[in-house]
Copies of this chain bind each other. A is one copy, B any other.
Amino acid sequence: MEMRFMKGNEAIAEAAVRAGCRFFAGYPITPQNEIPEYMSRRLPEVDGTFVQGESEVASINMIFGAAATGTRAMTSSSSPGISLKSEGISYLAGAELPAVIVNVMRGGPGLGQITPAQTDYLQATKAAGHGGFKMIVLAPSTIQEAVDLTYKAFDYAERDKNPVMIASDGCIGAMMEPVVLPEFKEPPAYNFAGRAKFNPNYKSVSSSENFEAAQEVFNKKLADMYEDWNKNDALFEEYMTEDAEYIIASYGISARVSKTAIKTLRKEGIKIGLVRPITLSPFPYEAYAKLDSSKVKRIIDVEMAIPAQMIDDVKIAVEGRIPVSSYGRTGGNIITDDNIIDGVMNIIGKEGGK
């Protein structure tokens, strides 16, 4: 067991190497630069290949090629870069290829700001590209969790033959914490030969053959897999929820800051807790669905996104039984515990509060 003091971005990179990642293609875009930097030094030490593509489209397709020939591959970027990769991500899903994609989110839309944000929740969980595919999306809120989830991501990717996304942000990426690093795994030697015989996406569309029937079979197979995820893979954390009259719904860095806010609010006598999705996809609907509406007066969705994004999933989960409000910061502004306390009190206060 090896403990080290690491930056979030570097910890993600090291965890990937230990999970057997041997090909990384990426590109400098703030605030994820430490990931390619680290990989650039680290991968050669384990006979792996680091490449700095000159574009995001290049990078996602380089890992497509590497994955299609049997190598554990990863790319990372930040928000605009993920948009550029979105066609490639959809192709990975269509071609049943395992790969890990890290999004160190920053403010948007468009160019936006290079400082942290959580404005790509909907993109990550609902439509990281065309065609209705889904990915497992993992959202760390500590550096240790960043390590553990990245390590796990490669297993999910290979189990499902599907891309997996780490939804991080500029805060998690830049902060330092002590972490316990996992064991090195041997890079597995998987073989995709013959895949093309069964998946209708390995063909030319100029082809005169009709593949719609095979495509529907394939889409239904994916839909079944998503159902399995919902049943088996949803992860969440509950924090001070037992007696809570108010529940904060929050993930990643916002959830972490929320805990500090909750401690302060509890001192003020507010019975408040947190339900934090660790997997944004599959969303832990059950964690919110089971909340007792006779006890919980209101859910307050806290995100670094305006308008709020995760709030849709929370609403789907609670089916109107508990009112849902939202508070957030955005534009690359990091949410503080004071922000959250004010935001929460403002919402609670309006309804006669505690």
Contact = CB atoms under 8 A, between A and B. Distances in A.
Interface in A27-71: 28, 30, 33, 36-37, 39-41, 43-44, 47-71
A123 B113 contact: no
10 shortest A-B CB distances, which residue pairs? A108-B131, A94-B110, A65-B65, A319-B320, A109-B131, A215-B331, A216-B331, A47-B193, A83-B87, A61-B61
B107 A87 contact: no
A130 B109 contact: yes
Most chain-B Cβ atoms within 10 A of its Cβ — which of A36, A123, A133, A309?
A123
Given A39-B204, A49-B193, 12 more contacts: A49-B202, A50-B196, A50-B203, A53-B61, A65-B68, A83-B130, A94-B108, A108-B129, A123-B129, A215-B330, A315-B319, A320-B321
Interface of A: 22-23, 25, 28, 30, 33, 36-37, 39-41, 43-44, 47-71, 73, 79-84, 86-88, 90-95, 107-115, 117, 119-123, 126-133, 192-197, 200-207, 211-220, 223, 226, 305-307, 309, 312, 315-316, 319-321, 329-333
Given A56-B55, A62-B64, A321-B320, A126 B129 contact: no
11 contacts: A23-B68, A39-B204, A48-B196, A61-B62, A93-B110, A111-B205, A112-B201, A120-B132, A212-B331, A217-B331, A312-B316
Contact of A37 (B51, B87, B207): B207
Contact of A47 (B194, B211, B212, B330): B194
Contacts of A43: 196
A196 B111 CA distance: 13
A312 B312 contact: yes
Nearest to A217: B331
Contacts of A50: 196, 202-204
Contact of A53 (B37, B86, B91, B127): B91
A33 B206 contact: yes
B68 A49 contact: yes
A214 B112 CA distance: 10
Contacts of A58: 57, 61, 64, 87-88, 91
Nearest to A30: B205
B66 A94 contact: no
A26 to B, nearest CB: 8
A223 B305 CA distance: 10
A65 B69 contact: yes
A305 B132 contact: yes
Contact of A204 (B40, B91, B92): B40
A322 to B, nearest CB: 10
Nearest to A116: B212
A33 B90 CA distance: 22
Given A65-B62, A83-B130, A114 B205 contact: yes
Given A49-B195, A90-B80, A204 B28 contact: yes
